[in-house]
């Protein structure tokens, strides 16, 4: 008989990998000791334990606005005229601070309130949040990431949290079969189901992008992985995902890294998809449901390739608004420059068509500009006006039909930025913070604006940006020093 195979024998490749892992772990321990940092998993666990010790909720009216930040969530309160901000981060070029602050903004008196409640989640950014009026109001938060101050350690979450707006208490909801750890994903509420799509995860050795689709039932408190027919969006993070009623959603754009042989390049998506759910019985994700992807054209006014756009839905008009973002402009074969945007566009959720938004204060200026550059036309021109747009139909080929404001015009309001927080509450659009990239520096902003979507007169400044904060990093900071959240919420270097 031959020798028995040793089932416990380990191959040389496995041994080498184990040694490499051990060396990396020891190296990390030394680096953390030099930086004065603890292991990130221990830090998170300790924060969660401390938050669980809180006996009761406390509320504090802030003397001024919150600090500058990006990658936070800004959610309309489901029953009150308030906005709810949670988490986010701030980076000054040397250190990163990640928050788990729960903040409420009251537009009636322009006051911010900080709520500290029992059992709060640990700090995170690039997470997602939705709110529902059920059970007197609930705020649901999933995923995100935590970054150590030196940005040498990153942790992606896969936890789900529920904050009771009535009881002012957090609950960590434990349910199996949920999405893997990720940030830069997108999440919407469809009826009684929370839908999660995409995102990315980076463990320092491998960066993975996701195209999976998950549903969490608020009735059964269970996760299910969804499968849809038709060609849907490829793996990506930092896309725009918007709900349509209680049975459909739209996904636009996003960011990913594409490997070509031994090299890797960044890719900003510009495709547009609609996911439609038809149920013969049960809820989303049940055996009687049917999910179908369909590609949409978007129309001639679809935005160029951008990442880090802020988006919000006005449920009363079935329109969505998208602001800002960053485009990658190739300067050399090895270097990319981020070009920031201050564009505000509207996406009609029924037709899937994009429109440029022009404020009434700009229309007179724009009309003069158009009259100066347009050639006289022989055909009759029909002007169709509603309370938002003025469209000229006829007199020009369909490819050049314009919405008033399609050409650049000076305007007030928020400047160019990426990864801002935006929400619509009672037909008013609110925008807070974000990141401005300038000369290889990233400035985190703290300004805030509102726009009445009925009148569309002009942006109202709620919080002024006093001046750009000090940048403590080098002028040519390593583009790979951050995590993916910039492109996952911004551009090629940080990315969501």
Whole-number pLDDT of residue 2: 40
Cα distance between residue 387 and residue 440, in whole Å: 41
Note down pLDDT in tens along the chain; length 496 residues: 443 333 333 344 433 334 434 444 444 444 444 445 789 999 999 999 999 999 999 999 999 999 999 999 999 999 999 999 999 999 999 999 999 999 999 999 999 999 999 999 999 999 999 999 999 999 999 999 999 988 889 999 999 999 999 999 999 999 999 999 999 999 999 999 999 999 999 987 889 999 999 999 999 999 999 999 999 999 999 999 999 999 999 999 999 988 877 788 889 999 999 999 876 554 444 445 699 999 999 999 999 999 899 999 998 899 999 999 998 776 566 666 778 999 999 999 999 999 999 998 777 555 655 555 444 444 444 343 444 444 333 333 333 333 333 344 456 799 999 999 999 999 999 999 999 998 889 999 999 999 999 999 999 999 999 889 999 987 544 444 334 444 454 333 344 4
Domain chopping of the chain, boundaries: 33-174
Strands 344-348 and 353-356: antiparallel
Beta bridge partners of 242: 250
- The 10 Å CB-count burial string (b at 16+, else e) for 68-95 is bbbbbbbbbbbeeebbbbbbbbbbbbee
Q: Provide the total of helices (H) and of strands (E) in the chain, helices listed first.
A: 3, 35
Token digits of residue 52:
């669980």
Compute the Cα dihedral for 218, 219, 221, 225 and give only its sign: negative
The CATH superfamily label for domain 33-174 reads: Kelch-type beta propeller (2.120.10.80)
Q: How far apart (Å, rounded) are the C-alpha atoms in residues 156 and 483?
A: 11
**Which pLDDT does position 384 carry in this prediction?**
39
DSSP one-letter string for 340-390: E---EEEEETTTTEEEE---HHHHHHHHHHHHHHPPP-SS--EEEE-SS-E
Identify the pLDDT of residue 285: 46
What is the spatial distance between Cα 318 and Cα 486, in angstroms, rounded to a whole number?
A: 29
> What was the pLDDT predicted at 446?
97
Residue 335 confidence (pLDDT):
67
Judge if pTM exceeds 0.95: no
HEC secondary structure over 109-135: CCEEEEEECCCCCCCCECCEEEEECHH
């Amino acid at each position: 008989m031959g020798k028995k195979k040793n089932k416990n024998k380990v191959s040389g490749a496995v041994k080498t990998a184990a040694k490499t892992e051990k060396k990396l772990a020891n190296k990390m321990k030394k680096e953390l000791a030099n930086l004065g940092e603890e292991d990130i998993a221990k830090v998170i666990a300790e924060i969660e334990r401390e938050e669980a010790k809180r006996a009761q909720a406390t509320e504090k009216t802030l003397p001024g606005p919150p600090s500058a930040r990006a990658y936070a969530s800004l959610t309309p309160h489901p029953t009150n005229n308030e906005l709810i901000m949670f988490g986010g981060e701030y980076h000054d070029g040397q250190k990163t601070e990640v928050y788990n602050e729960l903040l409420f903004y009251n537009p009636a008196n322009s006051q911010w309130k900080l709520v500290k409640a029992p059992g709060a989640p640990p700090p995170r950014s690039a997470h997602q949040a939705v709110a529902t009026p059920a059970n007197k109001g609930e705020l649901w938060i999933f995923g995100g990431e935590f970054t150590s101050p030196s940005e040498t350690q990153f942790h992606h979450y896969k936890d789900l949290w529920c904050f009771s707006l009535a009881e002012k208490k957090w609950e960590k909801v434990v349910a199996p079969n949920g999405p893997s750890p990720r940030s830069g994903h997108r999440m919407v509420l469809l009826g009684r189901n929370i839908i999660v799509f995409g995102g990315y995860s980076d463990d320092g050795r491998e960066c993975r992008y996701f195209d999976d689709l998950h549903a969490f039932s608020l009735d059964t408190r269970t996760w299910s992985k969804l499968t849809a027919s038709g060609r849907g969006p490829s793996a990506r993070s930092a896309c725009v995902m918007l709900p349509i009623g209680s049975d459909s959603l739209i996904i636009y754009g996003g960011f990913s890294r594409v490997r070509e042989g031994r090299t890797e390049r960044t890719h900003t998506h510009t495709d547009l998809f609609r996911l439609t759910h038809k149920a013969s019985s049960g809820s989303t994700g049940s055996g009687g449901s049917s999910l179908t992807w369909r590609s949409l054209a978007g129309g001639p006014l679809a935005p160029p390739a951008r990442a880090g756009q802020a988006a919000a839905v006005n449920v009363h008009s079935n329109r969505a608004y998208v602001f800002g973002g960053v485009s990658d402009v190739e300067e050399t074969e090895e270097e990319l420059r981020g070009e920031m945007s201050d564009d505000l566009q509207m996406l009609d959720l029924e037709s899937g068509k994009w429109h440029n938004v022009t404020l009434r204060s700009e229309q007179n200026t724009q009309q003069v500009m158009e009259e100066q550059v347009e050639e006289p036309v022989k055909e009759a021109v029909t002007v169709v006006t509603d309370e938002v747009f003025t469209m000229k139909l006829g007199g020009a080929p369909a490819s050049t039909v314009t919405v008033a404001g399609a050409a650049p015009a000076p305007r007030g309001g928020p400047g160019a930025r990426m990864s801002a927080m935006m929400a619509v509450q009672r037909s008013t659009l609110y925008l807070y913070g974000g990141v401005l990239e300038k000369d290889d520096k990233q400035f985190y902003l703290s300004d805030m604006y509102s726009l009445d979507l009925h009148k569309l007169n002009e942006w109202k400044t709620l919080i002024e940006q006093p001046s750009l904060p000090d940048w403590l990093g080098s002028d040519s900071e390593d583009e790979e020093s951050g995590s993916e959240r910039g492109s996952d919420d911004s551009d090629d270097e940080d990315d969501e």
